[in-house]
Chains A and B, each alone.
Chain A
Amino acid sequence: MKKYSLNILLVVFAIGLLFAAHFRIIDSYIQIVAMTIGINIMMSTSLNLVNGNMGEFTCGHAAFMCIGAYISSILSVFCFGSKFGDPLLPAASVLIVFPIIVLIGGAVAAVSSLLVSVPSFKTRDDYLAIISIAVNYMIISAIENMDFIGGSRGFQGMKDTVWAMIDIFDGPWMLFWVINFTIFTVWVIRRFISSTYGKGVNAICQDEVAAEIMSVNTNKIKIINFMVAAGLAGCAGGLYAHIIGYVNPQSFNILKSTEALVMVYLGGMGSLSGAVISAIIFTGLLEVLRSQAIIDGLLSPVTMMFPDWEPSAGVIKWVMIPLLLVIVMQFRPEGIMGNRELGDVFPKLKKFYRFK
C-alpha cells in the first residue's frame, strides 16, 4: 500500500481534474492555469537539475523550450496541419503521434544543449551564465531570421492537431497531455537523480575535482545532465506551443528564462519537491496578481496618498514578484525547501509513501 500510495494519489488527482474539466466543472480559465502550472513544473524541475543539483549557473533555459516548441510545432503542422500542403498523416493517428512529436522536440532541444554543455567543461559560474544567455539570444535570433517558419511574426497552425484530437473524442486533451508529461518529467528526474549514476551530478556540484579523481566521468555526466534538462524543457515547449496554438521567438526570451530561474531559487536549489511547489506557488501568484481588484486592495494605502496614480495589475505584478524574490532571498536564501525534499522537512510524511 505504502509503495503505491503516491501513484494512486496522482492517478486519482489526474482523473479527477480531467473529469472536472470534461464536465465543465472547472472552466477553461482554470484549465489554462492548471496547464501553465504543469509546464512551469516541467521548466523548474528541469532547470533545477542544472542549477540546483549540478550547481552550475545557467540562465538560458527558455532557449531549449523554444527549440522544443518550434520543432514540435513544425512537425505537428507537417503531420496534421494544412499550412505546408496536405497533412502527411491521417488525423486518426494523432493520439499516438502527438506525444512522439513532443518527444522529438525534446530530443532536438537535448542535442542543442551541447551548445552550453561543451563550454561547461572548462567554464563555470558567471562565465557559463554568460554563455547560456548568449545561447538563448542566438537561438531566438536564429529563429527570428527564418522566414519560412514565420520569423519574428511567430508560427501558428498547431491547433489543427488539437482539433484532430477533439474530433476523435471531445475532451480536455491538452490537459491530459500536460498532466502526463509533468508526471513523466518528475519521474525521470527523480529516478535519474536518486541513482548512484545520477548522484555523480551532486558530486560535481560539491567538488568537481574530487568527482573527477574518484572516477566520475564529469564531462559525460555534464553532457547527460544538460541533455536531460534541455530535453524536458523542450517537451514543455512543445506542449506550451500546442496549448497556445501560436509561438513567437520573443516569448522565449531572457524573461522566460528568468521565470524558470526564479522558480528554482524560490523552491530551493537541488530540491525536486521544492521546484514543484515553487512552480505551483509562482504560477498561482502570477494569476492572483493579475486581478485588478487584488492589486487595488494591496496598494490601497499608497493610492490613498497619491490619488492620481492608477496602478495597472499587468505592470505592478512585475514589481510584486521580484519584490517577493528579494524578500525570500533576504530572509530565506536557501529557498522554500532549501536542498531538502518534502519527506525530509516533514518526516511523518514518509510513513505514507515510499518511492520505488
Chain B
Amino acid sequence: MMAQSQVQTENAPVLEVNSLSQRFGGLTAVDNFNVKLMSGELTGLIGPNGAGKTTVFNLVSGFYQPTEGQILVDGKPTAGFKPHKVTSLGVARTFQNIRLWNDMTVFDNIRVAQHYWLGYGFFHSVIRSKRYKKREAKVAQEAQELLEVFDLQRFKEELPKNLPYGTQRKLEIARALSTHPKLLLLDEPAAGLNSHDVKDLIRLIRWIHEKFDVSIWMIEHHMDVVMELCSHIKVIDFGQTIAEGTPDEIRNHPAVITAYLGDDNI
C-alpha cells in the first residue's frame, strides 16, 4: 500500500480515500467511504440532502479530522494537517454558499489566495525587500493572468459583493484555481443559478477541466449538470456509498432511485 502510494507515476491517484469514517457524537455522518480519483478525472458526488456529501469535502479539505480512515493527496497522507496545509498540497475548494472576501477587491481576493507560496514574512513586508518586490510582482502577475482568462478583468477593482451572483461563482472558482490545485472540489457550483447561468457553468467547468490540467470532484443537485459533465459518479446516502458508476449506470440504479424517490414497499 505504502509502496504503491510513493510511486509517482503519470496515473497516480490525485486523491485516495481509504475507509473514511466521521462520527459526530452518536451520528455517523460518513461511514467507510472509499474513493480513488485519477488525475484529469471529472467525478461527481451526489446524494439526497443530509447524505454526508459536504462532510466528505470537509474531511478531504482538512476542515474536519476523520474519526477513522486515511486520506492521501498525491500519495501523501494529510492526517493532522490544517486546511491551509492541505490546500498547499493541491486541494482547492469552493463553498455551497459563496464565501468570497466581500470587502476586498476582486484582484485582492485572488492575490490573498496565493498565500501558500508567498515566500516572505512580516519583516520582508515592512522593509519592502527585493524578495518582497519579486514575490509581489509574481503574485500580481498570476492574479492578472487568471482574471484575464476568466474574463473578470473589468471587475478588477470592484468589490465582490457588488457583482452578479453568477460572476461571484466564477470568481470563487478562479480564486480556488489561484492556489494551483491538482484537485478542485466544487460544492454545489450550480446552487442558486438560473438555467441560463447553469449552461454557462457547465461550459466553464468543462473549459477549466481542459485548460488547467486539474481533476474536478463536484457535489451537485442539478442532475443535468452532473450527468453531462461527470465521467464517473458516486452516490451516497446516510453516509454510506450506495452506488457508483457512469452516468448511465447511475440513472437506472435501483438503490439510487430508492434513495431519491423512496421505497414503494412502504
**Chain A residues close to B by CB (< 8 Å):** 187-188, 191-192, 195-200, 202-203, 206-207, 209-219, 224, 228, 339, 356
* Residue B212 CB within 8 A of the other chain: no
Contact A218 B101 (CB under 8 A): no
Q: Assuming the A-B contacts A196-B136, A214-B115, A356-B128, are A207 and B120 also in contact, with contact meaning beta carbons closer than 8 angstroms in the complex?
A: no
| Chain B proximity of A188: nearest CB distance (Å) | 5
Q: Is B215 an interface residue (CB 8 A)?
A: no
Q: How far is the CA of A56 from the CA of B92 in the complex (A)?
A: 26
- Most chain B CB neighbours (cut-off 10 Å) among A192, A213, A356: A213
Q: Are A196 and B84 in contact (CB under 8 A)?
A: no
Q: Are A210 and B125 in contact (CB under 8 A)?
A: no
Interface residue? B130 (CB, 8 A) = no
Measured between alpha carbons, how far is A305 from B114 in the docked complex, in Å?
Answer: 66
Query: When each residue 102-139 of chain B gets 1 if its CB lies under 8 Å from chain A and 0 otherwise, what string results?
Result: 11100010011111101011101110100010001001
- Say how far A266's CB is from chain B's closest CB, in angstroms: 20
- In the bound complex, residues from chain B placing their C-beta under 8 Å from that of A216 are 84, 112-113, 115
Given contacts A197-B118, A206-B103, A210-B95, contact A215 B113 (CB under 8 A): yes
A–B Cβ pairs within 8 angstroms, 5 of them: A195-B136, A197-B124, A209-B63, A212-B82, A217-B84
In the complex, what residues of A have CB within 8 A of residue B99's CB? 207, 209-210
Q: With contacts defined as CB atoms under 8 Å apart, how many contacts are there between chain A and chain B in the complex? A: 101
Min CB–CB distance A119 → chain B (angstroms): 17
* Distance, CA A195 to CA B175, complexed state (A): 18
Quick check: B132 and A199 within 8 Å, CB to CB?
no
| A270 CB to nearest chain B CB (Å) | 8
**By CB atoms of chain B within 10 A, which of A203, A207, A215 has the most?**
A215
Chain A residues whose CB sits within 8 angstroms of the CB of B54 once the complex forms: none
- Which partner residue on chain B sits nearest A209 by CB separation? B99
Q: Which partner residue on chain B sits nearest A228 by CB separation?
A: B122
Any A CB within 8 A of the CB of B93: yes
Are B136 and A215 in contact, CB atoms less than 8 angstroms apart? no
Q: Is B101 a contact partner of A202 (Cβ separation < 8 A)?
A: yes
Tell me, in angstroms, the Cα distance from A217 to B61 when the chains sit together: 14
**For the complex, is B88 an interface residue (Cβ under 8 Å from A)?**
yes
Pair B95/A215 contact, Cβ less than 8 Å: no
- When C-beta atoms are compared, the residue in chain B nearest to A216 turns out to be B115
- Which of B92, B99, B179 counts the most A-chain CB atoms under 10 A from its CB? B99
A191 touches B125 (CB 8 A): yes
> 8 nearest interchain CB pairs?
A215-B116, A195-B125, A210-B99, A214-B113, A215-B87, A206-B101, A216-B115, A212-B83
Question: Cβ of B100 < 8 Å from any Cβ of A?
Answer: yes
- In the complex with contacts A196-B112, A206-B103, A213-B125 CB distance below 8 A: no
